[in-house]
Amino acid sequence: MLQMHDHSTCQSCNQRFNSVFCKAREEYVNLINEQKVCNVYRKGQTLFNEGSNPFGVFCINEGKVKLSHLGDDGKEQIIRLLKQGDVLGYRALLSGERYSASAVALEDTQICFIPKELFISVLKQDAGLAFEMMKLLSDELHKAELKITHLAQKPIRERLAETLLFIKETYGYEDDGITLNVRLSREEIANLVGTATESAIRLLSEFKKDGIVELDGKKIKILKQKELIRTANLQD
């Protein structure tokens, strides 16, 4: 197979224009390239832990990451799902706080690390990057506020349907065009929906009985997307 891009530099990174750095000036991209550190995180490995101090931001070149809070009783709440081109770790860094969430690789993932001082200084000099950053934060805030409304007002059945559609939006389908392109445990799905694991399992079984999905271990196939959209009862 032909190697289309040289992944080893930020200048030629295949995610560059698919990321918050899309409008960053060339000189700053070069600067970032010089100081970045790339790593592979194996499935299940932790990028950073809730409560620890941020030293920079992470940029996903390839792979999948979940970002989750630990609730007061120790229950996980997944607040974001991330993929190639996504940046993470910026929230705590910009607020000047410790991480309020943990990041864990959902599969083997290639990630570059940009040191805090460099990221902040580029952010202050490059208005294009700063503006994209604000857009990103605004979009995340919007999603979070929508989620608040849905958590407060929608029954679990609708939220599960919505979550499956969200997973599809984020990671898409596999080559067959119907299998969700990520492997999540039932517990993780429950922690995305915000419900008990048993409830998530039960409702997935109902969706299966209704022919909306097909379940094969952690593989989930969406058989009737329209029906799923109807079940999610989405207006927006």
Partner DNA sequence: GTCAAAATATGATAAAAATCATATAGGCAC
Partner DNA sequence: GTGCCTATATGATTTTTATCATATTTTGAC
- Footprint on this chain of a copy of itself (rule: CB under 8 A): 69, 71-73, 75, 77, 79, 90-92, 94-97, 100-101, 123-125, 127, 130-131, 133-135, 137-142, 144-154, 194-195, 233-236
Q: For residue 1, what are its two tokens? A: 């197979």
- In the list 33, 110, 181, 197, the residue contacting DNA (rule: CB under 7 A) is 197
CA distance 196 to 96: 33
CA distance 172 to 180: 6
126 or 188: whose CB is closer to DNA? 188
- In the list 23, 25, 69, 186, the residue contacting DNA (rule: CB under 7 A) is 186
Count, residues near DNA per rule CB under 7 A: 19
In terms of Cβ atoms closer than 10 Å to its own Cβ (0-12, 13-18, 19+), residue 2 is exposed
Q: Does 204 bind DNA (CB under 7 A)?
A: yes
Q: Does 198 bind DNA (CB under 7 A)?
A: yes
217 binds, among a copy of itself, DNA, none (CB under 5 to 8 A by kind): DNA
- In the list 201, 223, 225, 234, the residue contacting DNA (rule: CB under 7 A) is 201
Bridge partners of 216, per DSSP, are 219
Bridge partners of 102, per DSSP, are 68
CA neighbor of 80 nearest in space, from 191, 219, 181, 216: 191
Query: At closest approach, how far in Å is the CB of 76 from DNA?
Result: 12
Query: At closest approach, how far in Å is the CB of 232 from DNA?
Result: 13
CA distance 60 to 129: 17
